[in-house]
Each structure stands twice: as structure tokens, then as C-alpha cells.
A and B are shown apart, each in its own frame.
Chain A
Amino acid sequence: MSAENAAPKILVFSTDIISDPGIDQAGLLKLHYSPSVYTISLPCSSGIKPRWIMRAFEKGFDGVFIAADGHECSYSPKCSEYTNKIIEQTQEMMREKNINPKRIRMAALCSVCAESFVSHMGNFSKILAELGSIQSEISVSQ
């Protein structure tokens, strides 16, 4: 493993139609963000299960970012509301395990919002760096 790879490890949940293409745009424009950002694309952010997020923390991810569709979601006008509920529910579970609830974050990301994604990753990385590694809060299995 390279020594410089101490940057916080972030798992991004994106959406197939809108936010994942937005993340692609960042690459296309050669806008750089931390290489310890990994993405899983789903149909809709309101389908993310809290257990998946918990799994990420258990496996050593320092933060989870949800790139939602906001009001552009083609499935439900209440998409943001449902996604927020999932986050709240997960944060409950996180508190029980002494994981800082700030390690989860959501923002709406459009399909060409490349710059916005990069700046979200930058800000979130900073916050996570201040919080320190997830291993300072829980023991991580790999």
C-alpha cells in the first residue's frame, strides 16, 4: 500500500440515471478528487439500506456520502424525504456503536454536477480527516 494513501476512505452511493453520470463527468473533465472515494450506483437513493452503510463503516470506510437525485428523481417526489429518513435511522445505529453521525452526508447531485461533486468530496474529506480514522471509533474487520 502506498504511504500517501492516508486520505479518508469514502463510500459514495450514487444513482444510475443522474448522480453517477455526474461523477463520471468529473473524470471526463479530469477534475481530481481523492482516490480513496469508491462508488456504488443504485436506481434510487431511497433504496439504500442502513445495514449497507453500517457494513461500510465496519469494513473501514471513514465516511459514506449519498449523492441523491433531489427533486429530479424520476421515481418519487418524496425521494429526498425517504433518503433523509434512511440517514436518520442509520445515524441512530451509528450512535449506538459510537460512530460519529457526521460520517454520513447527503447532497443532491445532477448529471453534469462535476465540480460540485469534487467540492463535496473535498469538504467531506476535510471533515472526516478532522474526525480521524474510523478505527478510532470502532474496530474494523477486513
Chain B
Amino acid sequence: MKQRIGVYICHCGGNISDYVDVQQLGKLMAKEDGVVISKDVMFACSDSTQKEIEQDIKEKQLDAIVVASCSPKLHTHTFRGVAIRAGLNPYNYTQVNVREQCSWAHSDRPMDATIKAYGLIRAGINRVAHSEALESIEIEAQKAVAVIGAGIAGLRAALDLARMGNQVYLIEKEDKVGGRVLTAGKLFSSGENGKDVIEQLVRQIKQMTNIQLFTNATLGKVSGSVGNYYMDVNVNGELLKLHVGSVLVTTGFDFYSPGEGEYGFNMSDRVMSLQDFNMLVEGSNGQLMHNGQPVKTIAYIYCVGNRQSKGENKYCSRQCCTAAIHSSLNVHEKFKGVKAFHLYRDIRTYGKHELLYEESSRKGDIYIRFDEKEPPVVEIKNGKPFITVKDYLTSKKELTLDADLVVLVTGMVPRSDSTQISELLKIPIGNDKFFNEVHPKLKPVETVIKGIYIGGACQGPKNISESVQSALSGAAKINSISRKGSIKPEPIVARVDADICAWCNKCAEVCEFDAVKPIESSGKMIAEINISTCTGCGICAPVCPVNAIEIAYFTDNEIESMIDGFAEPADIAPREEVKETASTGQSKSLAGYPKIWRTIAGAMDDKTLTIPEIAGLVNISNHEATWNVMTMNRYGFIEAVGLNDDETHYNYKLKR
């Protein structure tokens, strides 16, 4: 228990002291157990007060401080800094929110606000009395990274990680690198060839001395945690042991493989996937030929294996529309007189890709919109595909097409071995079966396992540029760990009372971060918390049947003593001088405000009116009345008092 506590209660230049009697509270708190100094200060955050607190800590040998001022979101770091500069552990300081959650929220009832502030500050004193000096533990982090998968995302990230000074181990399960891009042919929108792009990257990678590339390499056992992962990698039958700080997973995707007979697939070699079609285009010169026959009419069927509202793959693969249109443009560029029909649901050439769609339409490609409920039917007659489709753009007119080739624009699906990868690295899989990020905006490349990142299309469908950006984002996060050379997790983590714990596994079951493991201690199994992966969220604490887990800074003693502090009856004397700002029963003066406001207020008087009624009374347009009434509402001159009888408009009245 802390015995030499300092308490500082802020006026905030009237923001607090106009409502809360901070002077009286300052005197009252001086009587609390353990408090050796208690002051009310004009601005706790001001430079001079910060220095004053520092001086008090040193001179009066304070072992804990309480600052009662604004929300902890604003100045916790300020006052932790004060504590540190004065040689006090920053966790021996507690912030009490007497502004946002007291004086402002209860400015209508100053006496009650003072009573509440009394409870809040007492709770803060109780809490800080039980506070502990917490220290961050520094854990050394390896400056080495394993990148799993050497497609475009992995290659590109490896290059940046090496440029940023990391040792990179690039692990590829195939015998060659480049993944899907290697065989993609001409790429949108730059027009580069996939093979060239990969070869150029490989050349750059070979120049880097700090990238080691392993092909024919598969991932084995993985142990450890952020900063220090130990991985077994099987390279051509030999065991390689790696010790890395972080892992970037860039394992990519598979193309959806159409089922037997799906749009005529496997019923005729004239029905093929977009990838196979691209190879055909790449390999043909002069005239587009298939099995010795010229190809004059092509039907592209979109959304194959995707956007299945009732099926398995509900998602959209985002890049296929553009890919198919780009292929069609390639065909027109290379060969004359080829007619293209695009059977689509929505054309999703987002962003600048729209220009390709526009160009394709200009070149005479025909777009036919079908609905998922009535998809096109492909029949094979005399070896040739024959398509029937209802065109939703022309009153669902049924069209028949006979095409030399049917190109199935297939979507992306997770790699067939992604479950194994997810089990080895303990990274979760989402509803769409792709690897799941922690949060699409806050932590888009992070997984719940600290130090393991996902980049590229293994997280979800992406085009090349997007895959590269996501992989490089992962590289940036990894580099922030390796450049520091260590991780310094906040000391607010779970801890286990070894005497009480009897290892039942309940805490480990609920932990999202794989931070709880059993270890042996004094002849029994107990839970051990990995402080480098624990986030201090506290999920494990309530599930413990014997209450063996506490979170530092949120211990039972701290929380329960706060509750006790709130509950103490307060003996507050009424304040002598009452500030004018507190409710005086009069409406606020409109003097000096726009004339129209005074006119509105005059017309409203005691009445309850809608905006059109107010507009009618003061003879202004409804629109002008809306703007002014809303602004008067914002500044507290007018308040809304519920809907009118027709429930079309709100009623307003002057605020008293």
C-alpha cells in the first residue's frame, strides 16, 4: 500500500471548478489515508504545475500521485512523463476524469457533481494506493524474417525487407519462383509480360546478399513467439532450422476449378478457363487458332465460382472482370475480326480499370447481363458450344449464341494447402476460407499471432499491384520490430498465481493470442503467460474457476478498492458562492447573436413548433429556418421535444 500519495485537483480554468467545488475537495482529500499532500490547481497540465508536481514528488518523497482533471485519453501520457521525470514509476499515477465524466456531464447539478467528484477522486486514491511499480521487459528480436511463398508478393516483400536491412529467408514450395504471375502472360494495366516482371525481380533479389531463397521447400514445425520464432523447413528432403523474428505469409491463391459440366466445362475443349485462354492467345500468331480451327466468336462467362449467394464462395474476386476485359482487348490488338460476347452480372472494373471497359465497348464487344437466378446455359452440339442466356438489359429477352470458344472467367479460391499453413502458424481462417487479418482497417496485415503477418492474395482476392501493396505493408510492420531490435510490450499483462492455479486449460482456450501455455512448477502443471504476446485484454481472468489470474494495473485490489471509494458517503458542505454559469432558470441571452435568432426566439416564445411552423411565423424559407434552428439547437438555445402528431417533423421549443 502506498503511504505517501499526492493529489492534484484541477480547476481547468473554470471548466471543472465552476461546477465542482474543487477547493473543498482539495481540503477533504488531504484527510484521506496515505495522502500527504492535496491541492487544487488552476491547470494541471500547464508547464508550471507539471514542474510543481515533480518538485513535490522529489521533496515530499511521494510514492504515488493522483491527478483529477480531464479524460485520461488526453493527458495520461503527460502525467506519466511527469512521474518518470521525477523518478516515480509511471504506473504509480492514476488519472481521475472529473471533467468529461463529471463537471461537464453534470453541469446542471453542481452539488451532485461535487459529490460524484468526491467519489471519483477517492476511488482514484484507493486505486493508486494499491498500484504497483510495473516495469516493461525488453525482449531481443531477431533481425531475420521468413517469407513464405515466392510469388510476386513474396518476392517483392523480400526485396524491401532486405533493402531495409533484414536477413530474409524466402521459402517456396515449388521448384521455381514467380507463382501465378510467371504464367499470366500480358498483365493489366501496364502491358508488361508476367515472366519479364518476375525475371527482373529475381535478378534484383540475386544481387542482395541478405536474401536466401529456398525452392522445393516446405514449412514444418513452428515454435516460439514474436521476436524469436523457430521454424523447421524441409528443403529438398533436408532439414533447415531457422530462427527469425517475424514471418510474412504470402502463399497466394488457387483459381477456382469449374465442376464437371459447369457451363460445359470438360464436355468440350472449346470451353476453357481464362488462364488457359490467355496461354492460347499468347501462343497464337497471325490468326487466333484452336485445334487447327480459326476462332471468330468468343463468349466470356463471368463470376464462375464466385458471388454464389447460396453457394460456398459468396465473395467477389475483384480482379477477374478487369482480367477478362484485358484479355479481350489483347485479342483485338493481336487478331482482326474476332467477335466477343461478355456474359456478366456486374462489370467491376473499379478505378482506372474502367478505361479498359470503355475501350472494349468502343471496340464493339457486346455485353449481356445475366442474373444469378437465370445463369447462361452452355450445351455442346456437334462439338460446338451453344449458349442460351436471358439478357436483363433487354427485358430478359432470351438470346442464343453459338461461339467458337467459351471462356470461363473463374474467381480466386484459397490455396488447397492453406489449412495446413494455418495450423502450423496458428493463424485463423475467415468465413471466405482465406487467412484472416485482425481488422481490415486497424490491422489489415496482422494476424492474431504477433509477429506473423499476411500479405497478398492469401488474405483475399487481389490484383498484382494490390498484392504487392499489402505484402509491402507487412514488410513495413516487420521492419518496425527488427529495426528496434527488441520488443518492449506494455507491462499490463495477465499473471498467474502459481499457488492457486491447477491448470484446467480454460484460460488457454479463450486466449486469442496463443499467450497461455502449461508449464511445470513445483511438481504440478500451471498456466504460464507469454508476456511478449499477451495483450492484457483480460479475457482469461474471469474464466478461471479459482481466480488465479489477474491483469496488472487492473488487479482485484485496484478495482474493488475503486468500487469501495465510489460507495463512501460524502460529507460535502454547500458551496457559498454559486457561479452564474450554473443553471439560473433564465434563458441564455441572445444579445449580440444574429438578428434572425432573436426574431425566431421572439416568435417561438413558449410555443412548441415544427420548423415549417417557425418559418411561417417569421416569414423566412423553410430551408433558412432549418439552418438557423439547427444552429440554435447546437448552441443550446433551442431543444427538440419529440415528433409531431403526424411523425413528419420534430417539435422544438426555446430552452430555458
Q: A residues touching B (Cβ–Cβ < 8 Å)?
A: 1-2, 4-5, 11, 16, 20-21, 23-28, 30-33, 35-36, 38-44, 46-52, 55-56, 59-61, 74-79, 82, 86, 89, 142
Contact = CB atoms under 8 A, between A and B. Distances in A.
Contacts of A24: 71, 73, 97, 100-101
B115 A2 contact: yes
Contacts of A20: 71-73
Contacts of B564: 55, 59
A38 to B, nearest CB: 4
From A32, A38, A41, A61, residue with most partner B Cβ within 10 Å: A38
A8 to B, nearest CB: 13
Contacts of B120: 38
Contact of A32 (B106, B116, B439, B562): B106
Interface string B94-137: 00010111111111110111011001100100000000000000
Interface stretch (B158-166, B283-291, B567-575): B567-575
B438 interface: yes
A42 B439 CA distance: 21
A76 B566 contact: no
Contacts of B123: 38, 40
A1 B539 contact: no
Given A11-B566, A75-B512, 6 more contacts: A24-B97, A30-B104, A30-B105, A47-B539, A74-B443, A142-B568
A60 B572 CA distance: 19
B492 interface: yes
A48 B543 CA distance: 10
A120 to B, nearest CB: 14
Q: How large is the interface on B (under 10, 10 to 19, 20 to 34, 35 or more residues)?
A: 35 or more
A125 to B, nearest CB: 14
The 10 closest A-B pairs by CB, nearest first: A47-B538, A27-B100, A27-B104, A59-B567, A35-B112, A75-B537, A24-B100, A27-B105, A35-B106, A44-B537
Contacts of A77: 512
A135 B68 CA distance: 31
Nearest to B510: A82
Contact of B539 (A55, A56, A75): A75
Contacts of B104: 27-28, 30
Contacts of B439: 74
B290 to A, nearest CB: 49
Contacts of B100: 23-28
B587 interface: no
A52 B100 CA distance: 24
Interface in B436-492: 438-439, 442-443, 492
B559 A43 contact: no
Contact of B559 (A21, A52, A86): A52
Contact of B492 (A1, A43, A75): A43
Nearest to A121: B105
A50 B560 CA distance: 11
Given A5-B115, A24-B97, A38-B120, A61 B537 contact: no
A76 B101 contact: no
Given A2-B115, A38-B123, A44 B105 contact: no
A39 B101 contact: yes
Contacts of A30: 104-105, 107, 636
B539 A46 contact: yes
A47 B103 CA distance: 29
Contact of B570 (A1, A38, A76, A86): A1
Nearest to B512: A76
Contacts of B510: 46, 76, 78, 82
A82 B563 contact: no
